[in-house]
Amino acid sequence: MRRFAMLAVVFAAPVLVAAVSRERSLSRPATRTVWDSVYSAAQAARGETAYVAACARCHAASLGGGDEAPPLAGTGFLGNWSGQTLADLHDRIRTTMPSDDPGTFARPLITDVVAYMLKVNGFPAGAAGLPTTTDSLKEIIVRASKP
């Protein structure tokens, strides 16, 4: 009987380690900020094209917002989003935009538009593009001022 208990522990241990590792990764706090060059210039350029085609009609060419559309740049935007993750922003866009047909934008398009928003808000570009996965975006926090 003791032998079976030991075998059960040996075979169950990897499962337990995996479960603990997954739990830690789910509760991991954001490790980077938008000041850490988290998007590429090429990605922001694609985002600008997408923004003009799909978003500017409501949020204005300047990203300043409109009658019912909030600003996507400047103190109004940063005041609303500072302290939240890029996953929060990405998910808000994904689930509520466009306002007349929510949920129709593809993840890569949204990610490119977010990169463009970061550029317009004065955050630096880097070599790598902004990731499209929610888990990766959860690791990047919006900070209005440089840490």
Nearest C-alpha neighbor of 71 from the set 137, 140, 117: 117
In terms of C-beta density within 10 A (0-12 exposed, 13-18 middle, 19 or more buried), how is residue 23 classed? exposed
Reported as a pLDDT band with limits 50, 70 and 90, residue 23 is very low
Three-state DSSP class for residue 85: strand
User: What residue type is 108 in one-letter code?
Assistant: P
**Rounded Cα distance, 69 and 65, in Å:** 5
Tens of pLDDT, residue by residue over 70-87, are 999 999 999 999 999 999
**Rounded Cα distance, 140 and 36, in Å:** 9
Tens of pLDDT, residue by residue over 1-14, are 444 444 343 344 44
Fold classification of 30-141 is Cytochrome Bc1 Complex; Chain D, domain 2 (1.10.760)
Per-residue confidence (pLDDT) for residue 29, from 0 to 100: 65
Per-residue confidence (pLDDT) for residue 28, from 0 to 100: 58
Domain ranges of the chain: 30-141
Question: Which secondary structure element, helix H or strand E, spans residue 93, and what is its range?
Answer: helix 86-96
The values of phi and psi at residue 40, to 5°, are -105, 160
Among 11-15, 25-29, 121-125, name the one with the lowest average pLDDT: 11-15
**6-11: long-range pairs with CB below 8 Å, 24+:** none
Q: Taking a C-beta distance cutoff of 8 angstroms, is the pair 58, 101 a contact?
A: no
In the predicted model, what is the mean pLDDT of residues 42-67? 96
Say whether pTM exceeds 0.85.
no
**Rounded Cα distance, 98 and 84, in Å:** 21
Per-residue confidence (pLDDT) for residue 147, from 0 to 100: 86
